[in-house]
Amino acid sequence: MYSLPRGVDAERELANILWNKGFAVIRGPASGAGTRRRFQPDLVIIKSGKVAVIEVKRTSELPVYIRPEQVLGLSEFAKRAGAQAFIAVRLKGRKWLFFRLDEVKTTRRGGFKVEGKGIDLNGFIVDVLGFKKLTDFM
């Protein structure tokens, strides 16, 4: 039994979680639509002018690898927006981990990856974005 969702379903799952916590959430158009003039992140979340831009990855175990154009695109988008940038990793069991873009590591072959403990969903919302605890919304 393979319990990882499809990429688009993982994005939708996280979008719904954050929307239900009161964020404005927008998902980018489907990936892989050929050459693009503009980088389109998977998710942008906003609350009261505070912006986070997110690439969503799913994996059964870390590390997870990130394409160079995603790292560069995310960085450029975040700079324009004045946003924080993250890689959100969907693991089995509906578990999410968040990594800041500046925690991304280079591989020996010059690629990019994230690994390590990361930040859990609650920590992401409360500590990173500075919003109320999840329980305050319940």
Q: Which is nearer to its own copies, 59 or 84 (CB)?
A: 84
Closer residue to its own copies, CB minimum distance, 22 or 116: 22
Q: Which residues bind its own copies (CB under 8 A)?
A: 15-16, 19, 22-30, 37-38, 40-41, 44, 46-51, 53, 77-78, 80-83
75 catalytically annotated: no
Shortest Cβ distance from residue 63 to its own copies (Å)? 27
* Rounded Cα distance, 81 and 22, in Å: 20
Q: How far is the CB of 38 from its own copies (least distance, A)?
A: 5
The tally of CA atoms less than 13 A away on the side-chain side of residue 100 is 8
* Coil, strand or helix at 47: strand
Strands 95-100 vs 84-91: parallel, antiparallel or unpaired: antiparallel
CB nearer to its own copies: give 82 or 130: 82
Rounded-to-integer distance, Cα 96 and Cα 18, Å:
12
**Active-site amino acid positions:** 31
